[in-house]
Amino acid sequence: MELVPRVLRLTGEGAFEVLAAAKKLEAAGKHIVHLEIGQPDFPTPDHIVEAGVKALRDGYVKYAPPAGIPALRGAIAEYLLDRGVKTTAENVVVTPGGKSALFSTLVALVHEETDVLLPNIGFPAYEAITRFLGADPVFYALDPARGFTVTADELRAKVTRDTRVLILNSPHNPTGGAIPKRDLEEIAEFAQQRNLMVVTDEIYSGLQYDGCFSSIHALPGMAERTAIVDGFSKSYAMTGWRLGYAVLPTQVVDPVVTLATNTFSCTATFVQHAGVAALTGPQSCIREMRAEYSKRGRFVTTLLNTIPGIRCEMPRGAFYAFPDVRELLERAGKTVEELAHDLLHEHGVACLAGTAFGSAGEGYFRLSYANSPANIALGLERIQHMVAQLPAVAA
């Protein structure tokens, strides 16, 4: 059997690969501290669970419209008003998870043999889907000195005459960076000048620590050229429920709905009813999780910065630290992948090499602090122990 070349352009995701390796070690009896997977350790809030259970008992187990049930599409449009996003239920397409929303949106927007501006470092699906669709990724850099964010000047330096789509992610995975509103305004002007479609991944919007998230969709002239990709996994601790959505310009909606019809048919109906409860019910769960992640972020970065050879900036959102470990690599004479391997197999801490998110991640780890404070403290203690065993810097 000869596989179609395009499917070979897809890549795996480091978090799941490291999780599988960690689970294998656990099965063999080794204790592992999990700092690799971006999954909230909080339970799904009770009122959301109860709504899902009630929907099951009430018989909401049949097919739903491919675009989503009207109640959820309307609730999403209403919910987004808090971001300044003015849209309608008809512009919302509900999907089984944020990745489905991302994939469907890019299928509709990315032409073959064109260029897509995307971050290096960034969520690996951006590059994988771009290559799968026969387009070429053009990477823009994130500036560590600016909290791992991008400016319009950086985009101007990288855009090509064949660029049609720009992908943004803020708050950012894997760094926790968040684009300031002034920079976002300049990026919006740039996108309009270059006639670019913008796909903005806002999955961590509810977890920006200052609570002041800005969407590029809300800026003047951007609604008709912006697609929002979002979901319930992070802000509502609903990873396994698989519930996401895309907010699309009107002319893109029908093609994405047709794609949904031909791929997943619809998103589970009872899960959509749980989503309505999430958006229309108490939002204190988000505020509480956001406050706790902010607290953990300060704890993690403070401790990391006490370890010789590690430097780490405080994230502005999400639940990831992205420490600079280049000095450790020099001391160990290893790549970041090799050091992450040693950390897992010899010290029992699962984390990701920064290169899981692109070549610019060389010299960095990604640590997820979506874990209990006790486990986080144990993981940092083990990292400190590993560092103490490395050779000293040569004089």
Greatest alpha-carbon pair distance for the chain in Å reads 72
Looking at residues 242-263, what average pLDDT do you find? 97
For 140, other C-beta atoms within 10 Å of its C-beta total 21
Looking at residues 144-156, what average pLDDT do you find? 96
Q: What is the pLDDT of residue 2?
A: 85
- CA 358 – CA 128 distance, rounded (Å): 11
Contacts of 8 (CB under 8 A, 6+ apart): none
Does residue 394 carry a pLDDT above 80? Answer: no
The answer to whether the bond into 373 is cis (omega within 30° of 0) is no
Per-residue pLDDT reduced to its tens digit, 312-343: 999 999 999 999 999 999 999 999 999 999 99
Dihedrals phi, psi of 343, to nearest 5 degrees: -60, -40
Q: Domains in the chain and their CATH numbers?
A: 5-43+285-388 (3.90.1150.10), 47-280 (3.40.640.10)
Looking at residues 195-223, what average pLDDT do you find? 97
Per-residue pLDDT reduced to its tens digit, 62-119: 999 999 999 999 999 999 999 999 999 999 999 999 999 999 999 999 999 999 999 9
Confirm if 252 and 109 have CB atoms less than 8 A apart: yes
- CA 183 – CA 199 distance, rounded (Å): 16
Q: What is the pLDDT of residue 11?
A: 85
Confidence label for 395 from pLDDT (cuts 50, 70 and 90): very low
- CA 295 – CA 203 distance, rounded (Å): 20
Helix 70-79 with 269-280: angle, nearest 10 deg: 30
